[in-house]
Amino acid sequence: MHVPARPYSFFMAIQDIYPTALRLLGRPVLVVGGGRVAARRAKGLLDAGAKVTVVAPVASPELHALSDAGLLAWEPREYRSSDMDGMWFAQTATGVPAVDSLVSADAEANRVWCVNASDHEASAAWTPAVAEVDDVKIAVNAGGDPRRAMALRDAVATALETGDLPLRRRRVPTVTAAGSVALVGGGPGDSGLITVRGRRLLGQADVVVADRLGPRELLNELAPDVRVIEVGKTPGHHPVPQAEINRILVDEALAGHRVVRLKGGDPYVLGRGGEEAEFCRRNGVEVEVVSGVTSAISVPAAAGIPVTHRGLAKGFSVVTGHEELSEVPARPDHTVVLLMGVSQLRESAAALALAGLPLDTPVGIVENGYLPNQRVTIGTLGTIAAQAEATGVSNPAVIVIGDVVRVSPYAPAHFKTADYSTTSPNKPRVVTN
């Protein structure tokens, strides 16, 4: 039985464009036109390493500057068909359709790819909207609509820069690249409070050395082959000593990995980031520090407590509960922020009282700031330790001591009578029920 051969089926493409990229390093290209578009295209071609010749009777100041600097050759005359000889690529940008069509036709006859700025439908090549993020180049064509292409390009570039799209390399380089360490402050715990730069570096990481605090949810978004090394500490329990953390960072970077040290808050605010950066540099490892939203300021803000407030406090001190408090100004108008201070709250309150801070000074404790289980406890210097023990306050928590606590919407009503107006400092604000 003879089965006839199945005829080929042909499908008309919606758009007969084959996306590709040109390597023009050291190759001659032609730009015909001397205006703004010509200057923009000439700069892009120079960035690609091409040898650019511009043909135009009059050139813009930008093209003049490039010519005067010897970066391109400018022929101050009308276009001739012989200008196409020996070219690898051509760009028309005269704004005169007849001239642009002639250039395009000459390019076609010489089998030279040409972008015709006057008629994209007749153009043998299109110039996409381009953006670069690290070593990734994004090129977008949008049916001949340049503004649409630019909008899409910007959206993709933003998604890459913010870590919403993966930037991490997948192909192992033939030569082992130098590794690096980024000390990234992840903020107080909510994954939306990490900086754009921090999120981007996290998305590029090969190895993440993670603390117990910080945006833990982001670890779930890492690729399966990204290694996460847990080095988290709890008060009084340091399973991975700081010296070992320092060694891990250096060893992983020297192995050619991109390492992110993901820390809660800000790595330079009581986070030992300075020690880690110093150790890496001393061992020849490149370090980048990405500041985070420090819990010392952001967590009080989550409970409506500013660390400074007009008429209440012009300055603040940040210390740990393990530090000596005798040098801290003992005044209600100077805010004291205690980090990691729950276990020694009673001793810290007694030390501040001994230094002269009134026992009726307001105190606020914010546990798990910005997280769903955030809890706020407000009392006074004389009562807060007993309140914290009675309600089972635990870390992570930030303790704020000073008159700024009166501003919090969680503060009891009688605290408000001692608050101040933001427009007339030092005048009590009248509270009406």
User: pLDDT band for position 126 (50/70/90)?
Assistant: confident
> Of 202, 186, 201, 207, which Cα lies nearest the Cα of 253?
207
Predicted confidence at residue 363, as pLDDT, reads: 96
Number of domains into which the chain is organized: 4
User: pLDDT band for position 234 (50/70/90)?
Assistant: low
> Of 280, 290, 289, which Cα lies nearest the Cα of 179?
280
CB-CB contact of 207 with 259 (8 Å): yes
Q: Compute CA distances 165 → 114, 200, 218, whole Å.
A: 33, 9, 13
Residue 241 domain flag: yes
User: pLDDT band for position 214 (50/70/90)?
Assistant: confident
- What distance in Å separates the CA atoms of residue 50 and residue 24, rounded to the nearest whole number? 5
User: pLDDT band for position 271 (50/70/90)?
Assistant: confident
CB-CB contact of 369 with 299 (8 Å): yes
| Residue 43 a catalytic site member | no
Left, alpha or beta for 19 (phi > 0: left; psi -120 to 50: alpha)?
A: beta
Element (H, E) at 245: helix 242-254
Cis before 396 (ω within 30): yes
Pairing state between β 51-55 and 73-75: parallel
Residue 13 domain flag: no
The answer, yes or no, to whether residue 233 has pLDDT greater than 50, is: yes
- Mean of per-residue pLDDT scores for the chain: 85
Q: Compute CA distances 104 → 20, 111, 127, 233, 289, whole Å.
A: 20, 10, 14, 67, 51
Predicted confidence at residue 428, as pLDDT, reads: 45
Q: Residue 334's domain is classified under what CATH number?
A: 3.30.950.10
The answer, yes or no, to whether residue 130 has pLDDT greater than 90, is: no
For residue 35, what are its two tokens?
Answer: 């205006």
pLDDT in tens, 10-35: 444 445 677 777 889 999 999 999 99
pLDDT in tens, 308-358: 998 889 999 999 866 678 888 989 999 999 998 999 999 999 999 999 999
Q: Residue 96's domain is classified under what CATH number?
A: 3.40.50.720
| Residue 211 a catalytic site member | yes
Residue 87 domain flag: yes
Predicted confidence at residue 352, as pLDDT, reads: 93
pTM of the model: 0.63
- What distance in Å separates the CA atoms of residue 140 and residue 10, rounded to the nearest whole number? 26
Considering only CA atoms, give the Rg of the chain.
Answer: 32
Average pLDDT over residues 357-380: 94
User: Of the residues 154, 233, 251, 333, which is catalytic?
Assistant: 233
Residue 166 domain flag: no
Predicted confidence at residue 235, as pLDDT, reads: 59
Q: Residue 268's domain is classified under what CATH number?
A: 3.40.1010.10
410 with 302, same domain: the answer is yes
Predicted confidence at residue 399, as pLDDT, reads: 96
> In the block, which residue shows the tokens 């509960």?
321
- What distance in Å separates the CA atoms of residue 338 and residue 328, rounded to the nearest whole number? 11
pLDDT in tens, 290-306: 999 999 999 999 999 99
Average pLDDT over residues 57-84: 94
265: containing domain = 180-293
86 with 120, same domain: the answer is yes
The answer, yes or no, to whether residue 66 has pLDDT greater than 70, is: yes
User: pLDDT band for position 227 (50/70/90)?
Assistant: very high
User: pLDDT band for position 169 (50/70/90)?
Assistant: low
362 with 411, same domain: the answer is yes
pLDDT in tens, 371-424: 889 999 999 999 999 999 999 999 889 999 999 999 999 998 888 754 455 544
User: In this predicted model, which residue has the larger pLDDT, 70 or 321?
Assistant: 70
User: Of the residues 190, 211, 403, 419, which is catalytic?
Assistant: 211
Predicted confidence at residue 18, as pLDDT, reads: 74
pLDDT in tens, 178-190: 799 999 999 988 8
257 with 325, same domain: the answer is no
319 with 263, same domain: the answer is no
